[in-house]
Structure 1
Amino acid sequence: MNTPLNTSFLAEMTIESKALVMKSKINSPVFVNSLTFPTSAFSSTGSEYLPVLKASKGVIRNKTPVIRLRVLTQTGGLTVTIICYDELIYRRYRSLLDRMNNHQIQISFPSITINNGGHGLYFTADDFKMKSPTAPSEPLIRI
């Protein structure tokens, strides 16, 4: 028997995504194409870092290069697609591949967007950062 998760993603959504959801509840013809969540919403521990399972490079329909990162979430594996729009992201991807050969690596995204595609949902992000699971946590800076 499966038990539901005791979590509410609505509390973790961005302000823009909350506004879209509320608008679609009030006005039923409004269709929500995407929702954005912080990376910690997908983690079972609440951490902003997720373990990386696989990294690959590919292209989408119009021959745009993309990086696909398979990460482990609280409900299983999830593939996040990042458009490889500059050399810096490609170099970070190559560094990730090199580190994955020798160590376990965790990555974080600024946010993960859930998009509605023609054949189901797909997940995108704009950027990523990586760290070793044994590395000390980043300092918290409040402004």
Structure 2
Amino acid sequence: MAALLLADQPVLALTVRPPWSQFLAAGIKRVENRTWEPPRGWRGRLVIHAGVRLDYRGFWFGARLGYRVDEDEVARGEYLAVADLADVHRPGPDCVADCAGWGEADCFHWVLSGTRRITSVEGRGRQKLFVPPPDVRELALAA
């Protein structure tokens, strides 16, 4: 039932651990790796929420690709950006160039396009996809 309700929403949010959330919000990382697919083929505006807990592997990974981020500079517990979820696919020969370097072999690749920053809003995240608070939803629709 919850997946059915989410599938009808034009704007959904996804919590991503920093620094991955920073890379997504900056448009540097255009693919998000998930072990699950959105409900019923959902495509739409996806708000990027920076989680509170850091993923230290992300700092190493970003630096390896030339994107150094300082631990003290990443946003945490905030809604940062909105992007259009353009495609979701498994890795393979048809994998788009955006997946290069960032896409993981055992995950669904959520391909984002048109990433743009929104006014940062503090707030709680959640696991999986969720409906963002009304003020964040309005920012996403206006972006």
Normalised by the size of structure 1, how large is the TM-score? 0.32
Larger relative contact order (C-alpha < 8 A, sep ≥ 6)?
2
Name the larger-Rg structure. Answer: 1
